Amino acid sequence: MTILRQKMINAMKLRGFSKSTQDSYIMAIARMAGFYKEAPDKISKEKVQAYLLQLWDTKKLSWSSCNVVVSALRFFYVQVLGLEETRLWIPPRKVESKLPEILSKEEVERLLSALVNPKHRTLLMTTYAGGLRVSEVVKLQVKDIDSQRMTIRVKQGKGRKDRYTILSKSLLIQLRDYWKIYRPAVHLFPGKDLNYPLSRFSACLIYHKAKSKAGITKEGGIHSLRHAFATHMLEAGVDLRTIQLMMGHSSIRSTMRYLHVSSKHMSSIRSPLDLLDLPYSKQLQ
């Protein structure tokens, strides 16, 4: 490991960055260095800009992927190399806001019904029933399931915060049947090596295979189940504050965006056109 890489890792650790963020930032800098075959601290500002342009224009990376690269570069040049923010040559990116395509209840039923493997089905049922992120569901331990209080404890979720979410009765029945088959000792969903949890990549792959088998064409990966949880809870009449706490959103604004995708909320709103007294045209014979 180079001294520069270790310096960057130490800087991220001191700021409490998660392991996944550290890996993403290191990978972003390493790929740029590999692209130019130069040490990253020797790459000119013109080359940095050219690299970003080819990511956006040539490789057509998504906004979220580009944003990770930009954030990594900003951190590297400002926090690690000590470049002043006012001299930073990386242009700011506009925040892109997209609403997710929400799975209907019928589509979730088809998705879960398409799974034959009990472990795979229980994994996706748990993700949906608790509104969990993929990083959270794979890290669950057997002791996190509290059947007395009917809660699931999520340890060190996004922002390194613990929280509780609901444990549904249907999921509890499924979990008990699952436990009788697999007898997990520590990790609720262990990988091939029972000492380690299932990887996020494996969980995502399970979702995409089930989605394909169910004939679902809507965009989105396993995080779609978390979106569906929030939307379906909102449509069932659960208040935004409760949903915010269960999902672990630091701001209520993150939860409020589900108002934009809730079919129940949208159907209850009257268009101003409906308030006008207009004569209807007769059909042409």
Closest C-alpha to 153, from 174, 137, 134 = 137
Same domain assignment for residues 113 and 234: yes
> Of residues 120, 211, 227, 249, which has the active-site annotation?
249
User: Quick one: 145 and 246 in the same domain?
Assistant: yes
72 and 112 inside one domain: no
30 and 129 both lie in a single domain: no
User: Would residue 60 show up in a list of annotated catalytic residues for this protein?
Assistant: no
- Which backbone phi and psi does 146 adopt, to 5 degrees? -110, 100
Residue 175 shares a structural domain with residue 80: no
Q: Are residues 71 and 114 in the same domain?
A: no
Do 123 and 45 share a structural domain? no
Reading the block at residue 261, the tokens are: 């995708």
Query: Is the pTM above the cut of 0.85?
Result: no
Catalytic site includes residue 223: yes
Q: Is 209 a domain residue?
A: yes
Do 180 and 122 share a structural domain? yes
Structure tokens, 192: 């091939």
CATH at residue 56: 1.10.150.130
Clarify whether 226 is annotated catalytic. yes
Phi-psi domain of 16 (left: phi exceeds 0; alpha: psi -120 through 50; beta: other): left
Distance CA 165, CA 159 (A): 16
The total number of structural domains that make up the chain: 2
Mark whether 258 is an active-site residue: yes
pLDDT in 10s for each residue of the chain, 285 residues = 788 899 999 999 999 888 888 999 999 999 999 999 999 988 888 888 888 888 877 766 666 677 788 889 889 988 898 887 655 566 655 655 677 788 999 999 999 999 999 999 999 999 999 999 999 999 999 999 999 999 999 987 776 788 999 999 999 999 999 999 999 999 999 999 999 999 999 999 999 999 999 999 999 999 999 999 988 988 888 888 888 888 888 888 877 777 766 666 656 656 665 666 666 655 544
> In Å, how far are 53, 172, 197, 237, 280 from 192, measured between CA atoms?
41, 24, 8, 41, 66
Active-site residue among 139, 226, 227, 232?
226
183 lies in some domain: yes
Our answer to whether residue 36 is catalytic in this structure is no
User: How many residues would you count in the chain?
Assistant: 285
- Helices 19-36 and 63-74: angle between axes, nearest 10 degrees: 90
- CA-wise closest residue to 128 among 171, 97, 93, 189: 171
The active-site residue, picked from 5, 74, 158, 200, is 158
- Active-site residue identified among 120, 133, 187, 227: 133
Instruction: Look up 5 and say whether it is catalytic.
Output: no
Q: Which domain holds residue 167?
A: 105-267
